[in-house]
Amino acid sequence: MEAVKRPRGVRYRLKKGPKIVMIGVLFLLVGFTFYQSQQPKVRFNEEKIVEYGDRFEDAIASIVNQDKSRFDSVEVVSMDTSAISTEETPTFEGSIVATFKGNTKTVNFQFSVKDTQAPVIVSDVTSIDFSDANPFELTTLLETVSASDPVDGPLTLTYSFDDMKETRKLTAEEFSLAVRQLVYNRSYAFSAHATDSNGLSSSKHFDVTITDGGMKSVSSLSEEEKLALINDFTAKYSTVYDVTNDSVIHESGYDSKIYPASMTKMMTVYAALSILESNITPAWNNKEVVTLDTVYTVPTTIDYIHASDASNAGIWGNDVVSIRDLFYGIMLPSGADAALALSEALTGSSDGLVNKMNEIASELGMTRTHFANATGLHDNNHYTSMKDLVTLLKSAWQNDAYRLIMSSKVYVTDQPYVNGRHDVFESSSLSMLNMMGDDLVVASKSGFTDESARSLASVVIVDEAVYFIVVNQSNQDGLGLSAVTDTMYLINQYIK
């Protein structure tokens, strides 16, 4: 059978046709590539953050360079290119037209405007001497302090004492009133604070030295005079206990009967915390659990204590206080009034807390201890020993709330119970230790009666090692420093 022959022209067309198509596609690709090479490239691969006050032109130029864009010119459209609004934190959407070799391209973008600049606090001074002779010097200082923010403009300042463990901030008026309650002849550190509408904050530190017009004081002692006082050790009873190694490294009359005076209040606070942590629900609090924040109206039954020789925190019947205020009122100014008020709040009577104190003493094995009251006022049936006070501190110091209270130098009350004013409590023993040059004692509780003389229990920390020091019957001196200087002597002899 004879084969059919296809025309050569047909074979040619069938064979060459795809080549023509391929060549055409190739020309198109080359043309498209050339076209693309002439187009501007402007990429926005993520949301852009712009600071308040930046100009859009600067922001866009920065972004274009960052994104390796290619253009001859770039112009913002559909958006104001003036300074970014500082009224809020908005998100802006817009577009730009980029030009390259006569070609243009429109690209949409988004800017989120953020505030990253904290307020600025300025003042003409950083320290001031505040004296009884001119109580408005502090007001003058505060008038020189101001705060401003690039977004919010002028800001209202608040103030706090740097030594406060509870960091509640005060208004200028509250702070000015609070400072006037502090003990004279001491120095205090405080800070001014400003926060803008976006939560950014700044603080500035100041020093205030309070004087009383020339009376002989701790602050006026020379270094030689301080050293002489420290080296004149007078305590009849003393102990240094190494908590880290559970050992007594010094003792004098360790198991002897002593009168603790206001060192009693270390147990007062510990026993009260024990009751508080049991989640009591007294009737006066509508059967709800009492916490440190609970507000309490002090009964007038405690007012009699102000006629005694006891130290007080200035709390009277019908004052409205927080439970936290009472704890600090006991420990820092050694307030007998605060101790009675807290006992009433937690147990319903002034004796209820004493019962708990003796119960805990028994549980801890404080065999040489009996408490007759929660205040530390002298009673022949109110006694303890150096050994038992160390036993108490070993247990109490493990409690977080207890450590915070005992180690506080200054505390400003939650409630403005004194003529509408927040009161200020201060640890005079910690202040005097600091002024005498000590920086190792982190917590202390002092005591004084005629029978106990000057007494002081302290917690010392050196390179994370913890020590307890207790002195009792330190001889009195004109400045009331004997227990402080005896403590410093023991630190020098047995710890440093």
What residues form the annotated binding site for substrate?
445
Please state the residue numbers annotated as binding site: 445
Residue in 127, 161, 133 with CA at minimum distance from that of residue 145: 127
What torsion do the CA atoms of 207, 321, 272, 377 make, to the nearest 10 degrees? 80
Are 339 and 353 contacting, i.e. CB atoms less than 8 angstroms apart?
A: yes
Options 48, 265, 356, 387, the catalytic residue? 265
Q: What is the DSSP string of 270-306?
A: HHHHHHHTT----GGGTTPPP-TT-EEEPPGGGGGGG
Identify the burial level of 441 via C-beta atoms within 10 angstroms of its C-beta, where 0-12 means exposed, 13-18 middle and 19 or more buried.
buried
Dihedral sign, Cα of residue 125, residue 127, residue 131, residue 135? positive
b/e sequence 361-377, b meaning 16+ C-beta within 10 Å: beebebebbbbbbbbbb
Helices 352-364 & 265-276 angle (0-180, nearest 10): 100
Helices 323-331 & 336-347 angle (0-180, nearest 10): 140
Distance in angstroms (rounded) separating the CA atoms of residues 27 and 19:
12
Residue written as tokens 């949409």?
108
Dihedral sign, Cα of residue 487, residue 489, residue 493, residue 496? positive
Distance in angstroms (rounded) separating the CA atoms of residues 456 and 260:
9
What is the number of other CB atoms lying within 10 angstroms of the CB of residue 215?
10
Task: Provide the edge-to-edge strand list for the sheet that holds 146-149.
Answer: 120-122, 146-149, 153-155
Options 202, 334, 408, 446, the catalytic residue? 334
DSSP β-ladder status, 48-51 and 103-114: parallel
Dihedral sign, Cα of residue 213, residue 219, residue 225, residue 230? positive
Catalytic annotation present for 262? yes
- HSE toward the beta carbon, residue 152, CA cutoff 13 A: 20
| Bridge partners, residue 108, by sequence | 95
Structure tokens at 80: 């104001």
Are 201 and 118 contacting, i.e. CB atoms less than 8 angstroms apart?
A: yes
Are 406 and 443 contacting, i.e. CB atoms less than 8 angstroms apart?
A: yes
Distance in angstroms (rounded) separating the CA atoms of residues 482 and 474:
6
Are 283 and 377 contacting, i.e. CB atoms less than 8 angstroms apart?
A: no
| Bridge partners, residue 206, by sequence | 190
Options 160, 191, 203, 262, the catalytic residue? 262
Write out the catalytic residue numbers. Answer: 262, 265, 334
